[in-house]
């Protein structure tokens, strides 16, 4: 079967660094997406990885290891506005997205 | 630019009634999608359309139907609502079908079936 796993909830302190992990088992792989979703709002795109390695975009970075079926999203210099759910999604063999349940990130001052 | 709009924002519906959730995009995207989001679960694909005039079934299509008469509009119809269809419904679009590319989401419709 197809499966995306990520922690349900994480807590971090303002100004700190947090790493949100995502492991996947899918039939086919055409890339991995990270989305941010604030409570009561729509998901918005953060990053896309299709090759192994680290992609950096400002305070956010995303890493992919295809051989391990593993990705992480790294958030630096955390701000209160980063409190949100972070969704991991894999583009499978038919290019449809398979979504994880999301990780709720709580930022404390 | 509006991007993707959905209507209504929220709705309470009696079981057995029918309802159409509306979705319109102004980005001239080829592909459109309907998802439902339930607590503790990932987004689940209901139906999709790769281009105007074509539709396909996603992971959870039962009880739902869609049409894609033109590029911009992708309505989702519940023919006879049941309480298990209580959920938040998101419409999304992407520029390309058959490729991994960013999906843009509408603001969602919160539906409660009693």
Query: So what's the pLDDT on residue A93?
Result: 85
Where do we find the tokens 């506005």? A81
The answer to whether A22 and A66 are in contact (CB under 8 A) is no
Mean pLDDT of chain B: 96
A96, B58: Cβ pair inside 8 Å?
yes
Share of chain B above pLDDT 90, in %: 91
Asked if the C-beta of B58 comes within 8 angstroms of chain A's C-beta atoms, the answer is: yes
A87, B42: Cβ pair inside 8 Å?
yes
Asked if the C-beta of B90 comes within 8 angstroms of chain A's C-beta atoms, the answer is: yes
Could you check whether the bond before residue B57 is cis, i.e. omega within 30 degrees of 0? no
pLDDT classification of B71: cutoffs 50, 70, 90: very high
Determine the residue among B5, B9, B100, B104 to mutate to test chain A binding: the one whose Cβ has the most chain A Cβ atoms within 10 Å: B100
Residue of A nearest to B47 (CA): A96
Query: So what's the pLDDT on residue B69?
Result: 97
Query: So what's the pLDDT on residue B100?
Result: 86
Residue of A nearest to B103 (CA): A45
- The Cα–Cα gap between B47 and B78 comes to 12
Query: So what's the pLDDT on residue B2?
Result: 74
For the CA atoms of B62, B37, B111, B10, the dihedral, rounded to the nearest 10 degrees, stands at -140
- The Cα–Cα gap between A9 and A40 comes to 17
* Cβ neighbourhood burial of B31 (10 Å; 0-12, 13-18, 19+): buried
Residue of A nearest to B100 (CA): A95
B40 interaction partners in chain A (CB closer than 8 Å): 8, 101
Query: So what's the pLDDT on residue B1?
Result: 61
Q: Is the pLDDT of residue B21 over 70?
A: yes
DSSP helix/strand/coil, B83: helix
Looking only at the bridges linking them, the beta strands covering A53-57 and A32-37 are unpaired
Query: So what's the pLDDT on residue B46?
Result: 98
List, for residues B31-44, the tens digit of each pLDDT value.
999 999 999 898 99
Asked if the C-beta of B6 comes within 8 angstroms of chain A's C-beta atoms, the answer is: no
Each of the 109 residues of chain A gets a pLDDT tens digit; together they read 789 999 999 999 999 999 999 999 998 999 999 999 999 999 999 999 999 999 999 999 999 999 999 999 999 999 999 999 999 999 998 889 999 999 999 999 9
Residue A8 tokens read as: 């349900």
List, for residues B46-70, the tens digit of each pLDDT value.
999 999 999 999 999 999 999 999 9
A42, B40: Cβ pair inside 8 Å?
no
pLDDT classification of B15: cutoffs 50, 70, 90: very high
Residue A81 tokens read as: 């506005």
């Amino acid at each position: 079967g197809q499966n995306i796993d990520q922690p349900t909830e994480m807590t971090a302190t303002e100004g700190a660094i947090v790493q949100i992990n995502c492991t996947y088992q899918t039939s086919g792989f055409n890339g991995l997406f990270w989305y941010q979703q604030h409570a009561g709002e729509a998901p918005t795109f953060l990053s896309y990885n299709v090759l192994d390695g680290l992609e950096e975009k400002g305070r956010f970075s995303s890493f992919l290891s295809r051989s391990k079926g593993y990705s992480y999203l790294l958030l630096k210099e955390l701000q209160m506005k980063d409190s949100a759910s972070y969704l991991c999604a894999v583009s499978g063999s038919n290019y449809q997205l398979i979504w994880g349940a999301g990780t709720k990130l709580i930022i404390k001052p | 630019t509006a991007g993707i709009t959905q209507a209504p924002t929220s709705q309470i519906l009696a079981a057995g009634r029918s309802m159409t959730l509306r979705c319109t995009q102004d980005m001239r995207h080829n592909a459109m999608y309907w998802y439902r989001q339930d607590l503790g679960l990932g987004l689940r694909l209901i139906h999709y359309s790769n281009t105007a005039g074509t539709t396909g079934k996603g992971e959870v299509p039962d009880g739902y139907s869609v049409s894609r008469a033109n590029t911009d509009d992708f309505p989702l119809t519940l023919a006879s609502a049941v309480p298990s269809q209580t959920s938040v419904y998101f419409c999304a679009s992407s520029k390309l079908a058959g490729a991994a590319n960013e999906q843009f989401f509408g603001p969602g419709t919160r539906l409660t079936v009693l």
